[in-house]
């Protein structure tokens, strides 16, 4: 099986032109078949504010109403996605920008209303791995933003981390998949106070050990739970660290395997 | 040679939900290989206004400054394009939304500054017909918005009619191409006062005849000049009329051939 790399970057990189350009250069040098997934960043919030759309929060969580969804579609699907594609083209990466609606790549269903109505938020239902693969086989590099659709004409806001893991799980039917979650830290840290205490390799056994010792807790816990869920569903390797982990010689990041 | 239909719709259809849905239904019923090109409409102007970006006009023509380009990228490339794609998916059309940056499909160069600096406006330089064809061969339906790129990372605002004719010329290397320009009139009219006086067929000979008699003048003249230019460069047929021309039984529109 051929390897497919799926790289996720967050808003912190998207928002800073210098960081974005540096990252895209690294991404362009990445060998083999690859997919990029990007988050949106605070740009959507600032555009919404200027348009007089207030962010609705319920129990501390953002609600995507119809107006907010329009802003997200404009900012993530248009401004961010298409500028990333144009920048990648300038680096000779034959990128193609996608939402989940394009080639019906990621369908989702509107999150059911329980205690909170999150509005136009979609939970991923199906990844059309064969359609995505047609693009990859044509030597195009898919660039996903954090938008899916319900198949009935409705776009839906979807978490970029979830899109990453679901696309990776889907593509695992055809490829040996390696996911790269780029974030601010160098990796999963043994000591949260020491940014250089990167745990280089976590597998099911060491994960249990780290859990038992309370080394993995708080925000890192759900992140790693998601990772192991993806690994159990076919994903081969998950890497967590800052964008430098895309540099070939660098091994200062966390590699997670089953 | 197989036939490829290239349909262009303008802002008037995009802006009206009922018209748009009716058109997309017609487009979905269109048999064979096809491409959609859409204009933007006034939505970009209203979003720009809300964001406090004033439309700069020089000699009565709109200038695309950096801020306006951002709005165009948000509205045409994001909001309009992705909603059209989602609506087409709901009609079982496996659409893929594109700017000229995606798969490097349409490269352009920034219009040189002469009397007027039009800003970030691009004149089409090259259509990557083989890349576009890879999408068509994969049974995807390309949906273009009116944005191109310069290959150096810069998106550029480009007229949707120009994109339509240039894509059609490019695709003529691989297909027998039929272009459908949807606009408000039923077609080219013999008598501008009588909306039913549609001239059903214009070829080079009848065009000369109509020109000599002054029947074609004003706004229709550059439109038809562009049509004959496209026909001379490989396009097979150009059709002009309202969206009803996509209904099979209807022949009340203008068909233009060499």
Say if residues B44 and B77 touch (Cβ distance below 8 Å): no
Within 10 angstroms of residue B253's Cβ, the number of other Cβ atoms is: 24
- A178-to-A33, A144, A231 alpha-carbon distances in Å: 11, 16, 10
pLDDT score recorded for residue A246:
95
Say if residues A135 and B138 touch (Cβ distance below 8 Å): yes
Mutation to test the A interface, candidates B153, B154, B155, B158, most A Cβ within 10 Å: B153
Residue A19, pLDDT above cutoff 90: yes
Q: Please, where are the H alpha helices in chain B?
A: 11-15, 17-29, 43-50, 66-72, 81-90, 129-137, 160-171, 204-212, 220-232
Which residue in chain B is spatially nearest to A143 when comparing CA positions?
B102
For A11-164, CATH number? 3.40.1160.10
pLDDT score recorded for residue A232:
98
Domain ranges of chain A: 11-164, 183-258
- Quote the radius of gyration of chain A (alpha carbons, Å): 18
CA distance B235 to B178: 7
CA distance A237 to B187: 59
**Joined tokens for residue B251:** 């022949």
The pair phi, psi for residue B148, each rounded to 5°, is -125, -170
**Joined tokens for residue A73:** 């579609």
- Quick one: which H or E segment has residue B36? strand B33-38
Sign of CA dihedral A87, A88, A92, A94: negative
B62 is in an annotated binding site: yes
In the predicted model, what is the mean pLDDT of residues A165-179?
Answer: 98
pLDDT, tens digit, for every residue of A104-156?
A: 999 999 999 988 889 999 999 999 999 999 999 999 999 999 999 999 999 99
pLDDT score recorded for residue A220:
84
| 3-state secondary structure at position B140 | coil
Q: Is B202 exposed, middle or buried (0-12, 13-18, 19+ CB in 10 A)?
A: buried
pLDDT, tens digit, for every residue of A48-105?
A: 999 999 878 777 777 899 999 999 999 999 999 999 999 999 999 999 999 999 999 9
| Alpha-carbon gap: B82 to the closest alpha carbon of chain A (Å) | 7
pLDDT, tens digit, for every residue of A33-49?
A: 999 999 887 889 889 99
User: Which of A70, A85, A140 is facing B101, going by the closest CB pair?
Assistant: A85
Complex-level ipTM: 0.96
Residue A218, pLDDT above cutoff 90: no
Q: Which residues of A touch B85 (CB under 8 A)?
A: 99, 101-102
Cβ distance B153 to A90 less than 8 Å, yes or no, reads yes
For B3-182, CATH number? 3.40.1160.10
CA distance B3 to A89: 30
Say if residues B135 and B142 touch (Cβ distance below 8 Å): yes
**Joined tokens for residue B162:** 């120009």
CA distance A41 to A18: 15
pLDDT score recorded for residue B218:
81
pLDDT score recorded for residue B41:
75
Query: Got the DSSP string for chain A?
Result: --EEEEEEE-HHHHH-HHHHHHHHHHHHH--SEEEEEE---THHHHHHHHTTPPPEEETTEEEB-HHHHHHHIIIIIIIIHHHHHHHHHHTT--EEEE-TTGGG-EEEEEPPPSSS--BSBEEEEEE-HHHHHHHHHTT-EEEE-SEEE-SSS-EEE--HHHHHHHHHHHHTTTSEEEEEEE-SSSSSBSSTT-TT-B--EE-HHHHHHHHHTT-S-TTHHHHHHHHHHHHHTT--EEEEE-GGGGSTT---SEEE--
pLDDT score recorded for residue A4:
98
Residue entry with tokens 């000699």: B59
**Joined tokens for residue A161:** 């981390």
| Alpha-carbon gap: A101 to the closest alpha carbon of chain B (Å) | 5
Within 10 angstroms of residue A4's Cβ, the number of other Cβ atoms is: 23
Per-residue pLDDT 10s for chain B (258 aa) are: 999 999 999 988 999 999 999 999 999 999 999 999 998 878 898 899 999 998 787 777 778 999 999 999 999 999 999 999 999 999 999 999 999 999 999 999 999 998 888 999 999 999 999 999 999 999 999 999 999 999 999 999 999 999 999 999 999 999 999 999 999 899 999 998 999 999 999 999 999 999 999 888 887 888 899 899 999 999 999 999 999 999 988 999 999 999
- Quick one: which H or E segment has residue B53? none
Cβ distance B149 to A86 less than 8 Å, yes or no, reads yes
Q: Answer whether B24 touches A (CB < 8 Å).
A: no
Q: Is A108 exposed, middle or buried (0-12, 13-18, 19+ CB in 10 A)?
A: buried
B10 is in an annotated binding site: no
Confidence of residue A217 (pLDDT cuts 50, 70, 90): confident
B241 is in an annotated binding site: no
């Amino acid at each position: 099986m051929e390897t497919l790399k799926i790289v996720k970057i967050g808003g912190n990189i998207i928002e800073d032109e210098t960081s974005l350009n540096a990252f895209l250069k690294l991404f362009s040098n990445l060998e083999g078949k690859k997919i990029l997934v990007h988050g949106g960043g605070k740009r959507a919030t600032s555009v919404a504010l200027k348009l007089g759309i207030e962010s609705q929060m319920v129990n501390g969580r953002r609600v995507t109403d119809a107006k907010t969804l329009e802003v997200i579609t404009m900012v993530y699907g248009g401004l961010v996605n298409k500028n990333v594609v144009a920048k990648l083209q300038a680096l000779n990466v034959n990128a193609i920008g996608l939402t989940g609606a394009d080639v019906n790549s990621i369908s989702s269903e509107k999150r059911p209303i329980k205690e909170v109505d999150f509005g136009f938020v979609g939970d991923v239902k199906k990844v059309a791995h064969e359609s995505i693969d047609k693009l990859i086989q044509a030597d195009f590099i898919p660039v996903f933003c954090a938008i899916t659709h319900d198949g009935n004409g409705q776009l839906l806001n979807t978490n970029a981390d979830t899109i990453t893991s679901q696309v990776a799980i889907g593509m695992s039917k055809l490829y040996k998949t390696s996911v790269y979650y780029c974030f601010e830290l160098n990796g999963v840290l043994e000591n949260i106070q020491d940014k250089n205490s990167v745990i280089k390799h976590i597998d099911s056994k060491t994960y249990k050990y780290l859990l038992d010792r309370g080394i993995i807790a708080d925000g890192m816990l759900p992140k790693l739970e998601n990772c192991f869920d993806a690994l159990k569903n076919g994903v081969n390797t998950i890497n967590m660290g800052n964008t430098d982990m895309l540099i070939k010689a660098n091994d200062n990041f966390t590699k997670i395997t089953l």
